[in-house]
Amino acid sequence: MEHASHPDIVKRLKRAHGHLAGVIAMIEEGRPCVELAQQLHAVESAITNAKRVLIEDHLEHCLADGVGQGGKSAKDALAEFKLLAKYL
Protein backbone atom coordinates (compact mmCIF):
# COMPACT_ATOMS: atom_id res chain seq x y z
CA MET A 1 0.00 0.00 0.00
CA GLU A 2 1.42 3.38 -0.95
CA HIS A 3 1.01 6.23 1.51
CA ALA A 4 1.11 9.93 0.79
CA SER A 5 4.50 10.10 2.52
CA HIS A 6 6.12 7.40 0.36
CA PRO A 7 7.29 9.70 -2.48
CA ASP A 8 9.00 11.95 0.10
CA ILE A 9 10.59 8.93 1.77
CA VAL A 10 11.87 7.70 -1.60
CA LYS A 11 13.42 11.13 -2.25
CA ARG A 12 15.10 11.08 1.16
CA LEU A 13 16.47 7.58 0.62
CA LYS A 14 17.74 8.41 -2.89
CA ARG A 15 19.59 11.41 -1.45
CA ALA A 16 21.05 9.19 1.28
CA HIS A 17 22.01 6.62 -1.36
CA GLY A 18 23.84 9.25 -3.38
CA HIS A 19 25.49 10.62 -0.28
CA LEU A 20 26.62 7.13 0.72
CA ALA A 21 28.14 6.62 -2.73
CA GLY A 22 30.03 9.86 -2.13
CA VAL A 23 31.33 8.57 1.20
CA ILE A 24 32.53 5.37 -0.47
CA ALA A 25 34.41 7.48 -3.01
CA MET A 26 35.88 9.54 -0.17
CA ILE A 27 37.17 6.36 1.50
CA GLU A 28 38.69 5.19 -1.77
CA GLU A 29 40.36 8.61 -2.14
CA GLY A 30 41.88 8.30 1.32
CA ARG A 31 40.06 11.27 2.83
CA PRO A 32 40.56 12.00 6.55
CA CYS A 33 38.61 9.86 9.01
CA VAL A 34 37.01 12.90 10.65
CA GLU A 35 35.47 13.91 7.31
CA LEU A 36 34.33 10.33 6.72
CA ALA A 37 32.74 10.08 10.15
CA GLN A 38 30.95 13.39 9.60
CA GLN A 39 29.57 12.28 6.26
CA LEU A 40 28.56 8.85 7.57
CA HIS A 41 26.72 10.60 10.39
CA ALA A 42 24.81 12.63 7.78
CA VAL A 43 23.85 9.44 5.91
CA GLU A 44 22.76 7.79 9.15
CA SER A 45 20.64 10.82 10.07
CA ALA A 46 18.98 10.86 6.66
CA ILE A 47 18.02 7.19 6.95
CA THR A 48 16.83 7.64 10.54
CA ASN A 49 14.63 10.54 9.47
CA ALA A 50 13.17 8.54 6.58
CA LYS A 51 12.38 5.69 8.96
CA ARG A 52 10.77 8.09 11.43
CA VAL A 53 8.50 9.57 8.74
CA LEU A 54 7.53 6.09 7.54
CA ILE A 55 6.67 4.86 11.04
CA GLU A 56 4.78 8.03 12.01
CA ASP A 57 2.78 7.85 8.79
CA HIS A 58 1.98 4.20 9.38
CA LEU A 59 0.88 4.86 12.95
CA GLU A 60 -1.35 7.71 11.91
CA HIS A 61 -2.87 6.30 8.75
CA CYS A 62 -2.77 2.54 9.06
CA LEU A 63 -3.21 1.99 12.74
CA ALA A 64 -5.21 5.00 13.92
CA ASP A 65 -7.42 5.24 10.84
CA GLY A 66 -7.76 1.47 10.71
CA VAL A 67 -9.07 1.31 14.26
CA GLY A 68 -11.17 4.45 13.85
CA GLN A 69 -12.85 3.13 10.72
CA GLY A 70 -13.32 -0.35 12.10
CA GLY A 71 -10.81 -1.99 9.77
CA LYS A 72 -8.56 -3.12 12.64
CA SER A 73 -9.38 -4.19 16.14
CA ALA A 74 -7.62 -2.38 18.96
CA LYS A 75 -5.92 -5.65 19.84
CA ASP A 76 -4.54 -6.07 16.29
CA ALA A 77 -3.42 -2.43 16.20
CA LEU A 78 -1.63 -2.83 19.54
CA ALA A 79 0.12 -5.98 18.32
CA GLU A 80 1.26 -4.14 15.19
CA PHE A 81 2.42 -1.18 17.26
CA LYS A 82 4.51 -3.52 19.40
CA LEU A 83 6.16 -4.87 16.26
CA LEU A 84 6.94 -1.33 15.07
CA ALA A 85 8.20 -0.20 18.49
CA LYS A 86 11.41 -2.17 18.14
CA TYR A 87 12.35 0.04 15.19
CA LEU A 88 11.83 3.35 16.99
pLDDT tens per residue, range 6-56: 999 999 999 999 999 999 999 999 999 999 999 999 999 999 999 999 888
Q: What is the rounded distance in angstroms from the CA atom of residue 44 to the CA atom of residue 38?
A: 10
Q: What is the pTM of this model?
A: 0.77
Give the torsion through C-alpha atoms of 43, 47, 48, 54, to 10 deg: 160
Q: What is the rounded distance in angstroms from the CA atom of residue 27 to the CA atom of residue 15?
A: 19
Kindly report each contact of residues 42-49 with a partner whose C-beta sits within 8 Å and lies 24 or more positions away, as own/partner. Answer: 43/16, 43/19, 46/12, 46/13, 46/15, 46/16, 46/19, 47/13, 47/16, 49/12
Structural domains in the chain plus CATH codes: 6-85 (1.20.58.1000)
